[in-house]
Amino acid sequence: MPLFKTDSPMQIETRPVDLSSCDFAQQLDPLLQRIYQARGISNQDQLDRHLSCLPKPASMQGVHAAVERLILALEQKHQIMILGDFDADGATSSALMVLALKAMGYDSVNFLVPNRFDYGYGLTPEIVDLAAQNAPDLIITVDNGISSIEGVAHAKSLGIEVIVTDHHLPGNLLPEAVAIVNPNQPGCDFPSKNLAGVGVAFYLLSALRAELRLQNWFTGQGLVEPNMANWLDLVALGTVADVVPLDQVNRALVHQGLLRIRTGRCRPGIQALLRIAGKNPSRLVAADLGFAVGPRLNAAGRLDDISLGIQCLLTEDPELAMNTARALDELNQDRKLIEQDMQREALSIVGKLVFNAEDELPAALCLFQPDWHQGVVGLLASRIKEKYHRPVVAFARGDNGELKGSSRSIPGLHIRDALDAVATQNPGLITKFGGHAMAAGLSLEEHKLAEFKQVFALQVAASLSEDDLQAKLVTDGSLNSDQLTMHTAELLRDNGPWGQLFPEPCFEGDFVVVQQRIVGEKHLKLMLASHDQPQLVIDAIWFNIDTSIWPNHETELVRCVYRLDINEFRGQENLQLLVQHIEPKSNH
């Protein structure tokens, strides 16, 4: 089995910058110019975050056919069932579809989300039978459906038509739906392939609203034409929580959604979740949606039923929203405890994978414990991937001798394509799979786990070099002492949103450690003095440190990788460094 060393130190690299070919506005701050160019931005137009910069819905394949079917449903008062996924993207997609369709005059719109433990993922034949109990004329999938070949066929056999809206990568076969709206389907010329499921739903609904306006539907029915921007808070939340790449389209959608949330123009449920998480809406950034709101929403789908999260997003009642948000927060606390236990077991398993004194590990890690929670293995895979910089698949037991796996990848390996190669070369090994470049799910029979571990590790090893498996921190260089200010922190905060493949700026520099102490259970609170300007002392915090190493009171000088943050405490705002990595340096 291919082995790779894991004991080499963290590599710190600086993003290359070449401003010679860039066309930025003269008034754009030089630091921002440097940061944007390092992320592939070369001209001012690419920084446009207005809704007017978005490509038109008509350019997305399948939109026209879907709109035609939806107008037929409106005219004939068809029963519509929204079939969502059990994560934050699925929850926001479901809530958006229900709210927008009802605002456009649809009388009967309900939602159904399969419990992952009873029905599995997507529009399965079993979930179709459950939906059929409500006698829908039309099922609309959101954030799923592109791989639901059997489910769509079964719905068709029952006389139920299906519109698929999805963003996941398709397989060789497409479902025989009345319309498929997915920018990643073959032949779709839509310029952005990175929309989340909620983004795809937003585009379809925008096209529907435009066609109904042309037909004078709203005027004829005495309806107020809905403003699609009213639901950009949902689009922003689902997009960030699903960790899709923030290309210009997604940055515009997220930015506009954040603006609405900051000014209080958002769903009561999102306001309640922010309050529970202790976040100030007026200072909200994209990372808050990903690390504070998203996990609480996801907890319902991981441990119980995402319907609770959808109800939180749908309600207009602030009191009910707060009660539901509290219930979601309690589920998230339970999720954390379960995940901590699973992580301890996983680390023990990985420890036993070290084959010799040179600390060598396989190119990929496959982990399984019989009592692991099926809803939490994805988070577990993510944590282990971050620690060991390896593609990880974590399995839990499903039903009838089947394992449910969730995988997370590292840069350089398209995890869904890797699973596709394994499935193609080993027919019958994987029951089903699907996903993205960085995350995917799969199922296989438990007795085939050993075989899968071996062939998957070989596939990954053939795809990645030893350099790919070396953990790296890529920075935007250093900041001068006069740039370590609140002004710089505000500049960076206001010129995002930052996220997947458009990373939040981070910097490196030498600092003198003035103070260091543990806060909470395992967070290191520091006071750091600028090496070049010792009188400049800045607060810093490093979350989830190894308490067997830190605090280290023998360390006086450190090389620090950090992000600029604005810490708000008791109404006061102060500059704070969010530490990503610290290496002790010699004083000589």
Domain-wise residue ranges, the chain: 4-8+473-585, 56-330, 353-463
Q: What angle do CA 98, 130, 238 make, to 5 degrees?
A: 35
Distance from C-alpha of 289 to C-alpha of 277, rounded to nearest angstrom? 10
DSSP letter, residue 289: I
**279-328 confidence digits (pLDDT tens):** 999 999 999 999 999 999 988 888 877 899 999 999 999 999 999 999 99
Which amino acid type is present at position 343?
Answer: Q
- Positions of E strands within 125-245: 138-142, 161-165, 179-181
When comparing pLDDT for 564 and 556, which is higher?
Answer: 564
Cβ atoms of 92 and 313 closer than 8 Å: yes
Q: pLDDT at position 389, please?
A: 92
3-state DSSP call for residue 150?
A: helix
Beta bridge partners of 81: 110, 139
Domains 4-8+473-585 and 56-330 share a fold: no
**421-463 confidence digits (pLDDT tens):** 999 999 999 998 888 788 889 999 999 999 999 999 999 999 9
Predicted confidence (pLDDT) at residue 8 exceeds the cutoff of 50: no
CATH of 353-463, one of 1.10.3720.10, 3.80.30.20, 3.60.15.10, 3.10.310.30: 3.10.310.30
Tokens of 23: 């066309």
3-state DSSP call for residue 324?
A: helix
**165-176 confidence digits (pLDDT tens):** 999 989 889 999
Distance from C-alpha of 233 to C-alpha of 28, rounded to nearest angstrom? 28
Overall average pLDDT of the 462-472 stretch: 90
Overall average pLDDT of the 344-356 stretch: 75
Residue 365 region, left (φ>0) first, then alpha (ψ -120 to 50), else beta?
Answer: beta
Q: pLDDT at position 354, please?
A: 55
Cβ atoms of 498 and 247 closer than 8 Å: no
Residues with Cβ within 8 Å of 431's Cβ and at least 6 positions away in sequence, in order, are: 402, 442, 443, 444, 445
**51-96 confidence digits (pLDDT tens):** 999 999 999 999 999 999 999 999 999 999 999 988 999 999 999 9
- Positions of E strands within 347-494: 360-362, 365-368, 392-397, 402-408, 432-435, 439-445, 472-475
**Nearest of 149, 143, 43 to residue 83 by alpha carbon:** 143
- Positions of E strands within 178-313: 179-181
Predicted confidence (pLDDT) at residue 249 exceeds the cutoff of 50: yes
pTM: 0.91
- pLDDT category, 1, cuts 50, 70, 90? very low
CATH dotted code for 4-8+473-585: 2.40.50.460
82 membership: H or E segment, kind and range: strand 80-83
Overall average pLDDT of the 135-153 stretch: 96
CATH 3.50.50.60 assigned to 56-330: no
Predicted confidence (pLDDT) at residue 198 exceeds the cutoff of 80: yes
Distance from C-alpha of 80 to C-alpha of 78, rounded to nearest angstrom? 6
Instruction: Provide the 10 A C-beta neighbour count for residue 423.
Output: 19
Q: pLDDT at position 588, please?
A: 57
